[in-house]
Structure 1
Amino acid sequence: MLFAQAPEPPIPIEIMPSSDQLYFQMVVKKQFAPTSQFNFFTVTTFTANYQNDMRKSSVLIPAQIQYEFGKKGFGVMAGGEMNSVIGFYPVFGPLHTYASKEFLAVTVATFYVNQEQDFKLFGLYEYKPVLSEKWTLYTRLQFIYNQSIREGDHNRSYLYLRAGLKKGPMIFGIGANLDQFGPDKQYRDSFGLFVRWELR
């Protein structure tokens, strides 16, 4: 007897232009094989200042190999991460993922193998209730908090909010990006309209 396999999650790509910068995000989660408990995961983001001011631009590229225990969503990951604040370092840590038709919840705790003993908490939470046969409400809360355990200094944090509508693979709406950088928590915000497409 053949059993239907769960469909692969889409690869969402998103852009949000604002008055002074362009934000881009791509999320990839792919199993190594249909029945494998190993998968590759990344949430790649960049913010590009229109004047190419590198002090106001940022890049964050994690690359993780994840292993999930059973079907409860708990697991561990190891890999590397590159960001424009602290550079590149190996990483490892625990994780939890929950996905249904209406909800998505991803939480990853990351320990950096570096002298500062950096730690990052990442969360991505979506709520997508169906409104009609063709339309779905789309909301998302996404955050990171990165801090040096050894020094006690703040490295990087953000809170990104989205609210919009989904029709087929396309999502559009309004967004807010609230960022803090460095030990002094230098604050920058950005507001605009976003467009997201789910690649299959």
Structure 2
Amino acid sequence: MKKIHFSSILIAAAFSTQNLHAQDSIVNFKPKTVFVEEMIGDKRQFLQLMVNKVFVEKTKIGLLSISSYAADYKDNLGNNEFQNTSLIYHHLFKGISINSGASFTSVEGLKNFVGLHYMYQRKTLSLIYMPSYYFINSHKISNFALIEYKPSINENWSVYSRLQLHYNHDLDNGNHFRSYAYSRLGLTYKYFSFGMAHNFDRYRADKNTKNNYGVFLKLTL
């Protein structure tokens, strides 16, 4: 937990130095991000793919899809995890969009949701915040946030830091259902980022915990 707090403080401190202006997020709203990341940890392997693209710029309709896979090093399929969240969004104003989509997990299967999200994307700083309401089969609310801070060192190199947070609350039972905090700290060379990684996962009402420390390699297009 101390390492989580340390990484979070580092990223928050860097984030606070950036002068954010809401009007900047409306100019040329054309988010285009595809990244794939692999983490080799002490307990298990983790892979994440994210696609964020506006398909129709005049109407500002886009797709956001986040997929992740996790598997330990033992031959036990029950410990493997898969999750995909895919949604279509329509940008309204100042980086704020409405969305609707579906999420699939290896535990719950398919579930539909509606929600909002805020998106800010620049060379040095990017932010996604997405509150959602799940209404099929069960009733849940979730919050997702992703912050990347990449201050430049020179033309090809920059510092890379990321904090990715998720919390899912079960409204039917009034309990915690799923949450995680993923932190990254390293360097970026052109399209590649690499460095130290930590994944902190919690499950169900009893908040069963999995910690995973390791290294990561990320490709951004």
TM-score by length of 2: 0.83
Letter in 1 for 2:32: P
1:18 aligns with 2:41: yes
CA contact (8 A) 2:88 2:100 kept: yes
Question: Gapped runs of 5+ residues in structure 2?
Answer: 1-27
Quote the residue 1:165 is aligned against: 187
Paired with 1:105 and 1:31, the residues of 2 have a C-alpha distance of 16
What is the CA-CA distance between 1:8 and the residue it aligns to?
Answer: 5.7
Quote the residue 1:130 is aligned against: 152
**Once structures 1 and 2 are overlaid, which stretch shifts more, 126-135 or 31-40?**
31-40
Question: Gapped runs of 5+ residues in structure 1?
Answer: none
* Runs of 4+ deviating beyond 4 Å: 5-8
Letter in 2 for 1:183: A
**Once structures 1 and 2 are overlaid, which stretch shifts more, 129-138 or 186-195?**
129-138
Paired with 2:123 and 2:137, the residues of 1 have a C-alpha distance of 42
Of 105, 111, 117, which aligns to 1:83? 105
CA 1:8–1:119 in structure 2 vs 1: closer, same or farther (change >3 Å)?
A: closer
Deviation sequence 1:29-59 (CA, Å, 0-9, x none): 1112343311010111111122242343211
Deviation sequence 1:131-175 (CA, Å, 0-9, x none): 112211110000100111121121110000000101111110000
Mapping of 1:1-200 within 5 angstroms? 9-70=32-93, 72-199=94-221
What is the Cα-based RMSD across aligned positions, in Å? 1.6
CA 1:73–1:115 in structure 2 vs 1: closer, same or farther (change >3 Å)?
A: same
SS at match of 1:69: strand
For these two proteins, the number of residue pairs brought into alignment is 194
Paired with 2:176 and 2:111, the residues of 1 have a C-alpha distance of 17
Paired with 1:183 and 1:82, the residues of 2 have a C-alpha distance of 20
- Greater fraction helix: 2
Quote the residue 2:9 is aligned against: none
CA contact (8 A) 2:29 2:95 kept: no
CA contact (8 A) 1:15 1:22 kept: yes
